[in-house]
Structure formats: C-alpha cells, structure tokens
Amino acid sequence: MGYESAWLSYKENHTLKIPWNGSKIYADTWGKTIEAAVTELQRAVKEICGMDMGITGQEEEAGILLKKEQDNALGEEGYKIQCRDGRLTVTSQGEKGLLYGSFACIRMLQTKEEFSAEEKTEKPSAPLRMLNHWDNMDGSIERGYSGNSFFFEDNKILVNERTRDYARLAASVGINGVVINNVNVKDRATWLIDEVYQKELQRMSEIFETYGIQLFLSLNFAAPMELGNLDSADPCKEAVQQWWNDKMQELYTRLPNLGGFLVKADSEGRPGPFTYGRTHADGANMLADAVAPYHGKIIWRCFVYNCQQDWRDRKTDRARSGYDNFRPLDGQFRENVILQVKNGPMDFQVREPVSPLFGGMEKTNEMLEVQIAQEYTGQQRHVCYLIPMFQEVLKFRTYCQEDRDTVEDIVTGKTMGNTNCGIAAVINTGNDENWTGHDLAAANFFGFGRLCFNTSLSAEEIAKEWIVCTFGHDREVQEKILQMLMMSWKTYEKYTSPLGIGWMVNPNYHYGPNVDGYEYDRWGTYHRADHLGMGVCRGKKGTGYAQQYREPNASMYENVQTCPEELLLFFHYVPYTYQLKTGKTMIQHIYDTHFEGAEEAAYMADLWDSLEGKIETKVFERVQKRLAHQKEHAKEWRDQINSYFYRKSMIPDEKHRTIY
C-alpha cells in the first residue's frame, strides 16, 4: 500500500534564500547514521530548494558541514548549529547528534527560520524518548485507529521501505527507542525472543540503529513455561533465572543493539510474579540481571490494579493501586529497571490527576507513559491535540523535594541525577496512507517527539512547526489549523465526561457515550451518580487516594474548596446544586459545557470547510469527513450526558435548551 510522507513531505519553496554557499556537503567522519543524515539533507534541499547537493572530501569547498567534536556538555545526542561566512555547520559529539542536528536544519528550512551566525545549541531533555506500539503479530493493533500494523502481518515480521520511512519520521523528532509489539504478549508474540524471528529482527534493528533508534520488545513473563517447558516462571527459582540468562545471551549475540524489554506483568490477566507470591521487584530484578551484561534495560509497567472490584466496596479504588503496589518497593529495583507509570492513576482519560507514583518513589527510575493513540480521546476520528495535556502533566509539582520536583524534573533525570528515565507514548500509527488515520492526529506524534526533545517548547510552538511542515506557508491555513488544534482537547473534554470523572464511554471499545457503561461493569471505575449528586469520594473518609500525594497536594485535593475544579468529581462526591467558582451549579456547568463543546465541534468543522481549495483535495476530504462525524458525535455526547443528568437530578436547564 502506498503512503505519504507526513511532516517530511518537503515542500518546494524556491523563494527561500539559501544561507550557505556552494552545493557540497562535507562530513569529517562517516558511519551509517551520518550517511542517513547526509542523504536526508540532500533530499530535503533538493525538494525544498531545488538544489542538488553533492558530497566532498574537501572541507573548504563545502556549504554544509557535519563535524564530530568532543563536547561533553552536548553529549552524543546534543548538537550545535551555526551558519557563518556561507557555511552551515552542525557539530556534535556523536553521530546521533549530527542526525538530530541535520533534521533540525531541515525543519528550519521548512519553517523558514533564519540560520544565525550565533551558535544554536540543543540537547534532548529526556534521556529516553520512546514509542510503544501495541501491534499484534497477526497484524492487528490493540487500540489502533489507523489501519493495521506495518511491523507485523500473519505472524510474520515486515521489514521494508516503510520501516525506514517510519524510522525517519521518528528520528526527525528525536525518538530514540521503539517497542514494536503489544504489551499484552500472547501467542506468537511470545516467540519474538526465539531464534525463529531473529533474522528479521536483526534487519529491523539495523534500520532503526541507522536512525539512532534502539529496538525494544515487550515480553511475556511466562515465557520460560511457554517456550522453555519449565513448570514455573517463579523469579526466585534458579532454573527460571538461568533460563532467562541463557535466553538473553542468545538474543543479544544476534541483536547487540537491543535496548531491552517492556513488561506488563500481573496486570489485566497477564502473568507475573504474584502467581508465586513474589513482588514486582523480584520479577523485574530477575530480568534486569539477565540483561545487565548487555546494558539492557527492563521497563516495568505499573498498570497494576484489581479489575474485579465489587461495586459495594467503597474502599477499594483502582486509582490507589499503582501506588499501593509499588511505593513499598521503592529502593528495591536494580539500576537498569525503570518503572513506567501512566500519566494518571486510571487509564488515559481526557482529564486525570497526575499519578502519585511521581514523587512517591524516591529511589527508583521512572518513565512517564502517555497515550497518543486516542483510545479515550476520540479514537482519531475526533481531533484532540494532546500536547497541552502532556505539558500540564510535566509541569505538575510533586513536592518530593524543595525544588526540581516536577514530573518533568523526575523523568528528565534532574531530580535524581539519573539517566534511566524518560517519556514513552503509546503511538497512534498504522498502515493507513497518512500513518495516523486522522491527518491532524499526526500533530500528536510529531508533538510528542518534539516535546520529549525539548520540554520547554510550548504546545503552540510545536503545533505551528507541525502545521508549516505538513501544510506549508499559507497564513489562513496556519491560523485556522492552529486554532483547531489548540482548542481541541478542551472541546473534547467539554462534550464528554465532566469535571474529571472520566469513563462514561462504551465499555471495551471505549468509543461513544455510555454514562452507566462502566458503572455496571466489573472493571471498577465508577461515577457514583444518584439523584442528589455524583463523584467519587477519594479523601480520608472515602478511598483515601488523595492522601497518597505529598503535602500540600494531599490537602489541596482533600479539601473540596481547594480541589482544582476540573478534577472536582474525581476527588469528591458533590450535590448537583454545588456551586462552582464560576457561580454556576455543578449541574448547570454540565449542561453549559456540553452545549458549548458541541458548538465548538461544529465550529471546527466550519473552520476546516473554509479552507477548501487551500489544502490538497485528498487530505481536505479525509479530514472533512472526520470533522463532520465529530460534529454529529459531539451532539450525541451532549444529548446523552445532559439527558441522563437531567433525568437523574430533575433540575432543569436555566437556559431552557432542548434536553430530552
């Protein structure tokens, strides 16, 4: 199937004044990553400026220079860009830095940013900048909304030009690690660590390596039983440890660049150390010891909760479980173990508080996990630009120490001075022509990478870059798409579940309104609405979840007056007549936001319609269709939510709008 180039579609711009003299590129060292950087520069300059760039071995005759230079402050991934006396020079200590610097120059050409005689220095904020694919070996994608996998088909691994083009996209925004298979490792995927798949993995890993990306795999904790015929996977049994040691030795001999493994254990039915009465530290450390000789990492997920909670039990709380399970193990994990924590304590809702595991662990490496596959945020049929949300998460102060205590500080290594930390996103790609189903969803892929590389960029700056790289320089196009992206998350929040309560979606596939869908399900996520009010009491008198935070956060959430209102119902049960800071009652707020949200969805569709003729027809129509759906679907959300709460509360809308 053919596919497009997303933000790497280098658009012709002959008006651009080329800031370097001559048409030659010089590199003072060669390796496959530098080769890739040079090829990319050649391609971009040709497509954007119409100029053929040759290669020279003579530094004096070059217009673009890639130079390796000892500079510990920059490290292997940082770079400097300088344009002086007709020469554009990129310097770095490592090949990866030169690749990132080259992509940065290309982006400057795309966005017409001026090259300066002053050195521009950049170094990635997060050490690990990872994408997690939830791709299954049969080619399907768990929570995939843009076609099938481009890594797997019929239990085979695909390695082809698309693998390279994917790596180019990822590298262009600074991604340096990719997990190719679903965290739920079952059936054939368990065999990915077996010899049968090594050849293809080797080829894939080499392509990735060229683009500075380490290949990671998700693994099955029960593999010693399923592959090795052992009768147990007990991490404290010598035979099990030995099995893993042997397996890793075999694997790393063939795949020396393998970054390590992502593990979902004792979570939603997946096997793990609990079966043997062992802890997550026992499980993670066993694997960590097996990969340590090869500098491998074990990324251990904290998405562990009881998914069979009894509805009568008002003390058990899914939100508590990550902290309850992992906090007691702080300090027990090996140095090459990283705990991967979802941004919120539940599951990627449109609004959640930050997980108290950030700041709750003082001696443990942590990665932040976000989801740009829009499982709960419109499944890539609705526009939802998520970078503003991720920024809020990163800025959250945990108070784990006096300063350098934000989530950003923790995952960029500033809090603990560690390098085994970073940010991972459950990625939104598939084999659709445009990679992400919704064309505007590509802004999340691009934006995620850019944000991890430079956490000080604003969501708006990132959006602007993406728009220009993708759609070119038309002013109106830029302004309108920017407006759509920047309003989209809040708009989505307005017409879906209110005030941080979350869920209210159809169980299982998580699309479309269903207020009681999860209320009467076994998964243990409740809104507790009755005829008087709604919300979950998570303070001391309720589940006690608020107390998992450090002060002053714990008190802030505990107290209904100081609890941020966007999270009011997450932390408190309040009556429908409760007065918000705006002066509105809670029920009126629900009505108003739902009417507003649906109107805003219609407004976004109008904005897009007004760009007809300015955007390539195929793309225009693709997006138009989705926006038309979003507009209708937002009305459905509005009506279901409003009618439900009107009938529960019997309090009419002050503005007398139609509520059924």
Q: How far is the CB of 183 from ligand GCU (least distance, A)?
A: 5
Q: Which of 595, 625, 596 is nearest to 608 (CA)?
A: 625
Nearer to ligand GCU, 269 or 652 (CB): 269
Count other Cβ atoms within 10 Å, centred on residue 657.
Answer: 13
Q: How far is the CB of 247 from ligand GCU (least distance, A)?
A: 23
Nearer to ligand GCU, 375 or 409 (CB): 375
Distance CA 173, CA 453 (A): 7
Q: How far is CA 398 from CA 307, 354, 367, 415, 551, in A?
A: 27, 9, 15, 11, 9
Q: How far is the CB of 571 from ligand GCU (least distance, A)?
A: 22
Distance CA 151, CA 146 (A): 14
Is 592 among the residues known to form the active site?
no
Contact 307, 522 (CB under 8 A): yes
Nearer to ligand GCU, 35 or 142 (CB): 142
Q: How far is the CB of 160 from ligand GCU (least distance, A)?
A: 27
Nearer to ligand GCU, 184 or 232 (CB): 184
Nearer to ligand GCU, 266 or 289 (CB): 266
Strands 366-371 and 422-426: parallel
Q: How far is the CB of 339 from ligand GCU (least distance, A)?
A: 14
H or E stretch at 87: strand 87-92
Nearer to ligand GCU, 141 or 157 (CB): 141
**Residue 135's beta-bridge partner residues?**
141
Distance CA 575, CA 531 (A): 9
Nearer to ligand GCU, 49 or 441 (CB): 441
Residue 631 three-state SS: helix
- Residue 552: asked if its preceding bond is cis (omega within 30°), the reply is yes
Q: Which of 264, 260, 324 is nearest to 296 (CA)?
A: 260
Q: How far is the CB of 61 from ligand GCU (least distance, A)?
A: 54
CA 418 to chain centre: 21
Is 12 among the residues known to form the active site?
no
Q: Which of 493, 379, 301, 440 is nearest to 142 (CA)?
A: 379
Annotated active-site residue in 347, 493, 558, 600: 347
CB burial class (10 A; 0-12, 13-18, 19+) of residue 229? exposed
CB burial class (10 A; 0-12, 13-18, 19+) of residue 348? buried
Annotated active-site residue in 69, 119, 246, 268: 268
Task: Look at the block and give the residue holding tokens 């996998």.
Answer: 149
Is 375 among the residues known to form the active site?
yes
Would you tell me which residues interact with ligand GCU (CB under 6 A)?
Answer: 142-143, 183-184, 264, 303, 347, 375
Q: How far is the CB of 315 from ligand GCU (least distance, A)?
A: 22
| DSSP code, position 525 | -
Annotated active-site residue in 47, 95, 375, 439: 375
- Return the active site residues: 268, 347, 375
